Amino acid sequence: MPGTSSFLIVANRLPVDRVGEDMWRRSPGGLVTAIAPVLQRREGAWIGWHGAPDERLDPFEHDGMHLIPVPLSEQEVELYYEGFSNATLWPLYHDVVATPVYSRALWDAYRLVNERFARAAAEAAAPDAVVWVQDYQLQLVPAMLRRLRPDVRIGFFLHIPFPPGELFQQLPWRRELLEGLLGADLVGFQRPGGAANFIRLCRKTLGLQYQKHEIYVEDRVVRAEAFPISVDFGELDVLVREPHIVARAQEIRRDLGNPEHVLLGVDRLDYTKGIGQRLKAFGELLADGSIKPGEAVFVQIATPSRERVEEYIRLRDSIELQVGRINGEQGELGQQPVQYLHQSYDRDELAALYLAADVMVVTPLRDGMNLVAKEYISCRHDLRGALVLSEFAGAAEELKQAFMVNPYDVDGLKRTMLTAMRATPHDLSRRMRSLRRRVATYDVDRWAQDFLAALEA
Ligand code: ADP
Ligand code: F6P
């Protein structure tokens, strides 16, 4: 029996966070902001895990959205989420900056959980519904869903990079994953390079014919194209002009001792983000006297993330050791050059931090897009502030006027951080104006519209 939802989002997580027994709050973040209005307009539903293991919940309504929770057992969280998703696929798709774990037990759990999501979607979808599957945790869902419901239109968007063939071929289950994705009518990537990698792999691994963006799969055509995701420029642009945010930004600078330069990093605590590299560069600038004591403060906000996965445990230890060393060697009584906070913050506090920062340092070793870079730009209507951006972030393809760096090159990183700190107001405003034009035009709403228009064409 088909369901009643004509538009479905299928994602690893539901777009809400629990704030009490039966109380939920809409999760922050661009994806939810972009998709929630579409969902509300189209009487859609969102299928996803609600975040707690070993708990079954009935579907519920929140904020005009119909939410369908998918249960995960404690063991599935360990094998499917922490395991195959975040210890196998995550490092493999990010240039193997950590060593991926290849384990049949993890794969089995991934397949099983993907099947559960596909079944939930098949049950909820109305005849001829549009189903939009999100991200690397659910790459088998498109083909599984197509088998159950050949009538529905299926889109898939990968939020992280899609790796080159030389890396992807390591995966013992490479055929299954490609076939899983090919169940979609449209497969979206962050960058054209990701789409090209995917198309070449379909040719090489599965022997499929293709032309430009179209892959021929039996009697169907699958399109593979880039749709770079973005942020809600308008919302941030308004928020950051509010008096309480402006006052808070001033207060932050005061609390930091009103240094000449405030440098800022905002990331999930993830080994792909290049946090260690940027701290090393900053520490060396202090040690070699390029930055005078008290002249600059580096604020590093690191959201706790995937805290039971081994590589993340190791990373935390190493970053905290590094921060301690820099502050121990370069700090003074009452004055610490690195302010490290292992915490999550709400939108207002993040906006105030962006406004308070002279230099935003975004140095991932590999990143699908990096929304933090686009959020910073959205907040700088004053046309001040410098963005130091890794050439290995998807955002680098669009944000050409940033101060570009190779995060593996410590000397280059030091030079670029200094250049950004010493840039003239004229240079900064010229760059920021161009960056803002790009993000204002290609915001997250445009991203969702472009993807859905291509899917439904
Ligand atoms: P990723 O998807 O890999 O985490 P992005 O930079 O693309 O990286 O997106 C991160 C999102 O998480 C951004 O919207 C950012 O504002 C948010 N975020 C990052 N750090 C924090 C934090 N400490 N508190 C709250 N939100 C955060
Ligand atoms: O952008 C990649 C991503 O894994 C998203 O799929 C996810 O929403 C976000 O990062 C946070 O990751 P997690 O759900 O593992 O906390």
| Joined tokens for residue 38 | 């579409």
Listing from the earlier edge strand, what are the strands of the sheet with 296-303?
338-341, 296-303, 261-268, 359-362, 386-390, 403-405
Q: Which numbered atom of ligand 2 lies nearest the CA of 368?
A: 1
Percent over 70 (pLDDT), the chain: 100
The lowest-confidence range among 6-10, 38-42, 137-141, 286-290 is 38-42
Q: Give the span between the Cα atoms of 189 and 24, in whole angstroms.
A: 31
In which band, very low, low, confident or very high, does the pLDDT at 418 lie, cut at 50, 70 and 90?
very high
Which ligand is closest to the CA of 367, given by its number?
1
279 lines ligand 1 (CB under 6 A): no
Residues above pLDDT 90, as percent of the chain: 93
> What residue spans define the domains of the chain?
5-229+445-456, 233-441
Read off the pLDDT band of 41 (50, 70, 90): confident
370 alpha carbon to ligand 1 midpoint, in Å? 8
Match 């605590």 to its residue by tokens: 269
pLDDT above 70 for 325: yes
Long-range CB contacts (< 8 A, 24+ apart) of 339-343? 339/256, 339/297, 339/298, 339/299, 339/300, 340/300, 340/302, 341/299, 341/300, 341/301, 341/302, 342/269, 342/302, 342/303, 342/304, 342/316, 343/301, 343/303, 343/304
- Of 269, 347, 252, the closest CA to residue 33 belongs to 347
Q: Do domains 5-229+445-456 and 233-441 have the same CATH topology?
A: yes
> Cα(329)–Cα(138) distance, rounded to whole angstroms?
46
Residue 293's CB is within 10 A of a number of other CB atoms, namely 12
C-alpha of residue 430 to centroid of ligand 2, in Å? 33
Q: What is the CATH number of domain 5-229+445-456?
A: 3.40.50.2000
Ligand 2 shell residues, CB under 6 Å: 13, 135, 159-160, 305-306
Q: What is the dihedral of CA 187, 192, 194, 199, to 10 degrees?
A: 60
Q: Cβ(303) to ligand 1 under 6 A?
A: yes
Range 112-120 average pLDDT: 98
Mutating to test ligand 2, I would choose from 17, 159, 230 the residue with most ligand atoms within 8 A of its C-beta, which is 159
Q: Which atom of ligand 1 is nearest to the CA of 346?
A: 25
Which atom belonging to ligand 1 lies closest to the Cα atom of 345? Answer: 24
Domain 233-441 fold is Rossmann fold (3.40.50)
Q: Which atom of ligand 2 is nearest to the CA of 31?
A: 8
Q: How confident is the model at residue 20 (pLDDT cuts 50, 70, 90)?
A: confident
Q: Please identify, by atom number, the ligand 2 atom nearest to the C-alpha of residue 29.
A: 8
User: CA 346 to CA 209: how far, in whole Å?
Assistant: 48
Q: If you average pLDDT over residues 319-341, what whole number do you get?
A: 97
CA distances from 146 to 110, 140, 154, 180 (A): 18, 10, 8, 10
pLDDT reported for residue 296: 98
Mean pLDDT, the chain, rounded, equals: 96
User: Is 164 touching ligand 1 by the criterion CB < 6 Å?
Assistant: no
Q: How far apart are CA 311 and CA 365, in angstroms?
A: 15
Mean pLDDT of 185-207: 98
Report pLDDT for 2: 82
Pocket of ligand 1 contains residue 347 by CB under 6 Å? no
Pocket residue to mutate for ligand 1, from 307, 371, 376, 439, most atoms within 8 A of Cβ: 371
Rounded to whole angstroms, the Cα distance separating 60 from 20 reads 15
Residue 327 token pair: 């502050």
Closest residue by Cα to residue 371 from 34, 30, 136: 30
User: What CA–CA distance (Å, rounded) separates 434 from 402?
Assistant: 10
| Per-residue confidence (pLDDT) for residue 434, from 0 to 100 | 98
Residue of minimum CA distance from atom 3 in ligand 2: 159
The protein residue with its alpha carbon nearest to ligand 2, atom 1, reads: 159
Q: Model's pTM, two decimal places?
A: 0.97
CA–chain centroid gap for 330, Å, is: 33
- If you measure from the C-alpha of residue 268 to the centroid of ligand 1, how many angstroms do you get, rounded to a whole number? 6
Q: Is the pLDDT of residue 228 over 70?
A: yes
User: What whole-number distance in Å separates Cα of residue 79 and Cα of residue 88?
Assistant: 10
pLDDT digits (tens, 9 = 90+) for 390-410: 999 999 999 999 999 999 999
How many beta carbons lie within 10 A of that of residue 297, not counting itself?
A: 23
Position 156 pLDDT exceeds 90: yes
What separation in angstroms does the CA of 48 have from each of 7, 14, 89, 280, 288? Answer: 14, 4, 19, 39, 50
CA of 6 to the centre of ligand 1 (A): 30
Please, which pLDDT band fits residue 198 given cuts at 50, 70 and 90?
Answer: very high
pLDDT surpasses 80 at 30: no
- pLDDT surpassing 70 at residue 257: yes
User: Which amino acid is located at 402 in the chain?
Assistant: A
* Proximal ligand: closest to the CA of 351: 1
DSSP strand pairing (23-26 vs 16-20)? antiparallel
- pLDDT tens for 102-114 read 999 999 999 999 9
Q: Is 344 in the pocket of ligand 1 (CB under 6 A)?
A: yes
Atom of ligand 1 nearest to the CA of 375: 16
User: Could you identify the atom of ligand 1 that is nearest to the CA of residue 372?
Assistant: 6
89, two tokens: 């696929």
What mean pLDDT comes out for the span 285-302?
Answer: 96
Q: Which of 402, 357, 404, 347 is nearest to 382 (CA)?
A: 357
What is the three-state SS of 356-420?
A: HCCEEEECCCCECCCHHHHHHHHHCCCCCCEEEEECCEHHHHCCCCCEEECCCCHHHHHHHHHHH
pLDDT of residue 109: 98
